[in-house]
Amino acid sequence: MSVLDQISQPRDLRALSEDELTRLAAEIRDLMIRTVATNSGHLGPNLGVVELTLAIHRVFDSPRDKIVFDTGHQSYVHKLVTGRAGDFGTLRREGGLSGYPSQAESEHDIVENSHASTALSYADGLAKAYAVRGEDRHTVAVIGDGALTGGMAWEALNNIAIQHDSRLVIVVNDNGRSYTPTIGGLATALTSLRTNPRYETVLDIVRRRLNAVPGVGAAAYDALHAMKKGLKDALAPQGLFEDLGLKYVGPVDGHDRGAMEQALSQAKRFGGPVIVHAITRKGFGYDPAERHEADQFHAPGPFDVQTGAEKPKGRIWTDHFADHVVRIGERRPDVVAITAAMMHPVGLDRFQERFPERTFDVGIAEQHAATSAAGLALGGLHPVFAVYATFLNRAFDQVLMDVALHKCGVTFVLDRSGVTGDDGASHNGMWDMSILQVVPGLRLAAPRDVTRMRELLDEAVEVADAPTVVRFPKGPPPEDVEAVGTAGGCDVLVREGERDVLVVSVGAMAPVAVDVASRLVAQGIGVTVVDPRWVKPVDPALVELARTHRRVVTIEDNGVVGGVGAVLLQTLAEAGVHTPVRLHGIPQEFLDHAKRAAILDRIGLSAASIALQAVHDVTAEPAPEGRSLLDVDGTR
């Protein structure tokens, strides 16, 4: 029987011997490696927090004491020691364990966060709540040095520091990386803590030598106590935190479980907020991950356990963007690139290699990135800010008031737009086409294929007096869908039969829209499929097309509320066009994790579902004089 099989709840860890704890750590690493090799997921971050997580659960009493993991992707070890080891093989599979904390899975998960830099604010609120309620409980926030580059984390620290009786322990998991090496002044400061001699060692040497001098031992000790702050700042400048009023413990070797337990126990006994600075290595204990220079196996696809070699995979949308933005940079010396700590994931690493002086990684700071982009534009450059669609939500105010208000020519490239699948609710990029609709002057493009992505990027960077947005989904792009004609600025993809149904296809939903058309034509229903390319503002040609068709169907990989279809419906009403419109989009709910195709099918964004509804709508109204239409079951 393995040691892990004996762990059904965290308090079981306290009964284990040192040898059993060592074996447990090895078993956890082995299980995580084998599972992620098949299911994909976040491996490197979790390999780095095995001993740290075991120490937290041996010192604190979860679920009474609350543990909040920043970004949440470093919670696999936590899942394994809180009763979920038996289900770990279902990780990130439909109906299985989430890749992040989940309230539905366990009472040990309180926050389902997977957007960075939020844990300290959650923890601050939790600790205040327990203090107000008079409850003897601790809150532990585990935050990486990468997440500390986010401004929200420092807003929280500013408030935590004045809560002198807050029973809050902040564990800084310092591995020097987010996806890639952590960028910025904070990273430099933490590096100095990581690399300088620990002041406790120097204090001990000085203490022993002074006390050895006869007659001055007590006086020497008092003087040494007065010198303590100065020695701290000189030899391990944790004044970064202590100047805020936060007690600091560390640096501690995060892979030395005993040392971590000692540091956490010391922090637990202190009556106010404490920072425990743990030094870890991403990918620790698995040689292929430790040697993987790009990101220490941060989030690999399926791979060979023995060699670490990832299984071959085709080119995805990001790869095509990465190539084309370099071509843009070669012909446009004013184009610069910005990323928020995700150089490789958003495909800007190739631009960085070609134009290092024109590439800026601002850390996990999307708000700052957007306003900095505005400054770059005001300074005569054209910034391209590439970011996951779900993370642009965090910078909405900056897009609205700092970029658009000042008519800055900034291009936002939204990777992983629409349904992303395995990462769950927090990563679906299903909000952007709704929230950006309210931004005056902003132009939004949704390419249906790689050729259109290149064309629309070229057009976007030519706009110098307004923000532009180009969005595309996760995964491999479809084959190019060629147009059979144009209408205004729209591409006509299908034109068959009478003008019964106008299908407005948004972006990557084009293959679905074309499939819908073929199903309608087979039922004797005429159909026109158009791709607006630029979906904001509404192309006037769509208004005239809607006026001449019996029905309009919109299909988009975005929330149905306030999206492209909803705005088109409003535009038609304002123009006095009363053609019935059926909107197809993502329901406004937080979607459980599953493969993208499975989710699209479940929410009705499949060709079969959309065509069935369209046939029902068309045949439910009288046919034009002289024509008959097939019913949904194929009978006249």
Residues marked active site are found at: 282, 366, 394
Other CB atoms within a 10 A radius of the CB of residue 619 amount to 18
Residue partners of 306: CB distance under 8 A and separation at least 6: none
Helices (H) and strands (E) in the chain, counts: 24, 18
- Contact (CB, 8 A) for 114 and 127: no
Residue showing tokens 């006390």: 211
Q: How many residues does the chain have?
A: 636
| Structural tokens at position 529 | 């499929």
How is the beta sheet containing 66-69 ordered, strand by strand? 66-69, 139-144, 168-174, 274-279, 247-253
Helix (H, G, I), strand (E, B) or coil at 429: strand
Residue 292: which residues within 8 A CB-CB, separation 6 or more?
44, 283, 308
**Distance separating alpha carbons of residues 481 and 506, to the nearest angstrom:** 13
Q: Nearest to residue 559, comparing CAs of 583, 526, 535?
A: 583
* Tokens 């158009």, located at residue: 530
Contacts of 286 (CB under 8 A, 6+ apart): 29, 33, 43, 47, 297, 308
Segments in 3-86 forming alpha helices (H): 18-39, 44-47, 50-59, 76-79
What's the CA dihedral at 189, 195, 196, 198 to 10 degrees?
Answer: 110
- Give residue for tokens 């022993």: 208
Give me the helix-helix angle, 607-619 and 510-522, nearest 10°: 40
Question: Residues 325, 457: contact at Cβ < 8 Å?
Answer: yes
Q: Are 492 and 549 in contact (CB under 8 A)?
A: no
- Edge-first strand listing for the sheet containing 382-388: 359-361, 335-339, 382-388, 411-417, 468-473, 443-445, 534-536
